[in-house]
């Protein structure tokens, strides 16, 4: 065994040990004295994993910004492979259900998609704004929306296209405002999405309503128009709960922000 192989073996054994323990234990006094490395120790990693659990299950309820001790954790999560992997498994779950339930040939089986952090990813914006660790700035976000250059969330574009192939009628239901219709439609097309039936945005009478209420009302309109909402995909529980809910709902990950 040469030196390279020997190092490789050590690293392999460490990886096994670490996949068991997640992160090496460090005495907390030692960790606290490390200055810039603060917030990357075991306690924070464990806590932030649990914080993310509570956010994704909706146990946390209303929250405003990512806890400061989890800022690095959330950055690493959304820019790393776990966000991609979690989104992909959610998309796989959705597609498996869609194939099992099927869509009738009359086009009356619907799928409702949220847009931000569901079909489009605003990571390029949040990268410049602390990945949810800074307070939300409406002005700069609206400027970003007008640029219409958000990329597709990687797992969602193939799901969207598969659902269309399966003959589901696609509805887009976003908390964005009516005055952002052009930028939103332009961005969707640029990102590769085509063929939706209708794009719902907040009109004047929808302003100020909780997203759960606004989105439930719009889903009711879809149902009243004769559709069966088989599936719904969104990164917020307010995309999925309330009334006129889908037969199955698919929660996408989003540890960056919360919309009531």
Residues that bind a copy of itself (CB under 8 A): 11-12, 14-16, 18-24, 26, 37, 40-42, 45-47, 49-51, 53-54, 56-61, 76, 80-82, 85-86, 88-90, 93-94, 97, 248-251, 253
Nearer to a copy of itself, 76 or 162 (CB): 76
What is the nearest approach in angstroms of a copy of itself to the Cβ of residue 110? 19
Q: How far is the CB of 220 from a copy of itself (least distance, A)?
A: 18
Distance of closest approach, residue 49 Cβ to a copy of itself, in angstroms: 6
Q: Which is nearer to a copy of itself, 90 or 229 (CB)?
A: 90
Question: Considering beta carbons, is residue 16 or 225 the nearer one to a copy of itself?
Answer: 16
Nearer to a copy of itself, 58 or 186 (CB): 58
CB of 183 to a copy of itself, least distance (A): 30
Q: How far apart are CA 32 and CA 53, in angstroms?
A: 25
- Please provide residue 138's backbone torsions phi and psi, each rounded to the nearest 5 degrees: -65, -40
Question: What minimum distance in Å lies between the beta carbon of 213 and a copy of itself?
Answer: 16
In three-state form (DSSP H/G/I as H, E/B as E, the rest C), the secondary structure along the chain is CCHHHHHHHHHHHHHHHHHHHCCCCCCHHHHHCCHHHCCCCHHHHHHHHHHHHHHHCCCCCCCCCCCHHHHHHHHHHHHCHHHHHHHHHHHHHHHHHHHHHCCCCCCCEEEEECCECCCECCHHHHHCCHHHCCCCCHHHHHHHHHHCCCCECCCHHHHHHHHHHCCCEEEEEEEEEHHHHHHHHHHHHHHCCCCCCEEEEECHHHCCCCHHHHHHHHHHHHHHCCCEEEEEEECCHHHCCCCCCCCEEEECCCCCCCCC
Nearer to a copy of itself (CB atom), residue 131 or residue 250 = 250
Instruction: For the CB of residue 205, give the shortest distance to a copy of itself in the complex, in Å.
Output: 27
Return the number of the residue (90 or 173) whose C-beta is nearest a copy of itself.
90
Smallest separation, CB 208 to a copy of itself (Å): 22
Taking the least distance from each CB to a copy of itself, the nearer of 79 and 177 is 79
């Amino acid at each position: 065994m040469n030196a390279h192989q020997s190092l490789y073996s050590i690293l392999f054994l460490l990886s096994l040990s670490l996949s068991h323990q997640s992160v090496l234990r460090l005495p907390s006094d030692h960790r606290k004295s490390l200055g810039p490395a603060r917030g990357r120790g075991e306690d924070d990693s464990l806590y932030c994993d649990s914080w993310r659990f509570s956010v994704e299950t909706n146990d946390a309820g209303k929250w405003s910004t990512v806890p400061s001790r989890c800022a690095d954790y959330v950055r690493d999560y959304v820019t790393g492979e776990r966000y991609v992997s979690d989104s992909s498994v959610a998309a796989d779950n959705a597609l498996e259900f869609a194939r099992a339930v099927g869509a009738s040939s009359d086009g009356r089986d619907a799928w409702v998609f949220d847009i931000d952090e569901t079909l489009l990813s605003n990571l390029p914006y949040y990268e410049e704004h602390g990945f949810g660790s800074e307070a939300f700035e409406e002005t700069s976000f609206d400027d970003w929306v007008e640029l219409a250059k958000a990329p597709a969330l990687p797992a969602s574009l193939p799901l969207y296209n598969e659902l269309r192939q399966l003959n589901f009628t696609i509805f887009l239901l976003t908390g964005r405002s009516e005055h952002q219709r052009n930028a939103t439609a332009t961005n969707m097309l640029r990102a590769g999405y085509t063929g939706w039936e209708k794009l719902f945005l907040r009109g004047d009478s929808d302003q100020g309503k909780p997203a759960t209420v606004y989105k439930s009302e719009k889903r009711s309109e879809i149902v009243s128009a004769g559709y069966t909402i088989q599936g719904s995909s969104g990164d917020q529980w307010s995309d999925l709960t309330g009334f006129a809910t889908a037969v199955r709902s698919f929660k996408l990950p989003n540890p960056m922000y919360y919309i009531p």
